[in-house]
Amino acid sequence: MPAARAMAQRAAPGPAAALAPEIEDYLRHLAVERRLAARTVTLYREALQRLQDSAALEAVPLRQAQPHHLRGWAARLRGSGLGPRSIALALAAWRGLYRHWGRHGEVAANPVAGLRAPKAGKPLPKALSVEQAVQLAEHAQARARARGPQPKTEAAADARLALRDHAIVELLYGSGLRVAEILGLDLRASAQAQREGHGWIDMADAAAHVLGKGSKRRSVPVGRAALAALQAWIGVRAQLARGDEPALFVSRRGTRLSAGQLRLRLKAQSQASGLATPVHPHMLRHSFASHLLQSSGDLRAVQELLGHASITTTQVYTKLDHQHLAKVYDAAHPRARRKSP
């Protein structure tokens, strides 16, 4: 046993070296010029750290790496237990780095160009049923109403946050926004919002103007329930927000709400509402799309509302719709189920 333990310790990798300055420059390019979401940049950073570590292990300068090197390093990803989707993301990060260097004449060819990740199955997105989505929204509404107006105390701050959380749930489910889109909303349109790539709510027009993936702007209708929840939140927002904070949704500290804070609050709400499965924000976006398609059957409209560049991305919801119809058929049609012998 001691010998085996010593062998394992020798095989264990040491602490990762800091990323090279040229890789940090590329990540800054993604964050500032390409305006990729902070979460995406974080995932790319992790992938590029793996690339740098693999190259260091074989003493291969990254700019001199050849396709056979990259194939071996990609195989190492799979051997480490990464799934097809994670490998695909890592290869995208590697490919992007070499493409960036190629544009600046720092490499002659992209050694990742011919590499493909193993095929992954396409699991259906997880969506709530209509009843579950309404249960969550109504719980958030009841919680917000129960708090009521209070003096300036810790309990008063909680009451205002309950109004904020209700507005977020109604927007996520009622408009199908992404996390980055909802957190990127400002209270109102401004030159600063345009310059910083933010969206805003137009209460008069009942619309959310958001900046989606690929820096594409779109306008999404805001329903009556969401408008009412937003009105209630905006009425108390100034009591939490810092004076110069443009964000529509702010934290207890008065600054723009973070994705992590939103996820934690939504998870807590879903559990408090009695739902068996913790709800994450994207589940409400899936629910929005699935329920809208079930009601309208208009796939193209759902694509526009979600901001999908390709309708093939939206078509996954037709499978959810088929599942829903199959359940309705099984439950209602007299010939749906065979009688037990």
pLDDT tens, residue by residue, 24-52: 999 999 999 998 989 999 999 999 999 99
User: Considering 34, 71, 95, 282, which one is annotated as catalytic?
Assistant: 282
Query: Residue 119 is encoded by which pair of tokens?
Result: 């095929």
| Strand ranges inside the chain, DSSP E | 185-186, 199-202, 207-211, 217-221
Enumerate the CATH 1.10.443.10 domain ranges in the chain, comma separated. Answer: 130-281
User: Considering 100, 143, 178, 237, which one is annotated as catalytic?
Assistant: 178
Q: What is the pLDDT of residue 9?
A: 36
317 annotated active-site: yes
Enumerate the CATH 1.10.150 domain ranges in the chain, comma separated. Answer: 15-103
Checking if the pLDDT of 154 tops 90, the result is no
Q: What is the pTM of this model?
A: 0.62
Q: What is the pLDDT of residue 78?
A: 86
- The number of residues in the chain equals 341
User: Considering 139, 166, 285, 286, which one is annotated as catalytic?
Assistant: 285
- For 130-281, CATH number? 1.10.443.10
Cα separation, 196 vs 190, in Å, equals 10
| Interval 287-309: pLDDT, tens | 998 898 888 888 888 899 998 98
Whether 248 and 183 have beta carbons less than 8 Å apart is answered as: no
User: Considering 45, 99, 308, 324, which one is annotated as catalytic?
Assistant: 308
User: Considering 317, 333, 335, 339, which one is annotated as catalytic?
Assistant: 317
Cα separation, 168 vs 172, in Å, equals 6
213 annotated active-site: yes
Q: Which fold has domain 15-103?
A: DNA polymerase; domain 1 (1.10.150)
Looking at every residue in the chain, the average pLDDT score rounds to 85
Cα separation, 95 vs 51, in Å, equals 11
Strands 185-186 and 199-202: parallel
User: Considering 213, 252, 267, 324, which one is annotated as catalytic?
Assistant: 213
Query: Residue 191 is encoded by which pair of tokens?
Result: 């030159």
282 annotated active-site: yes
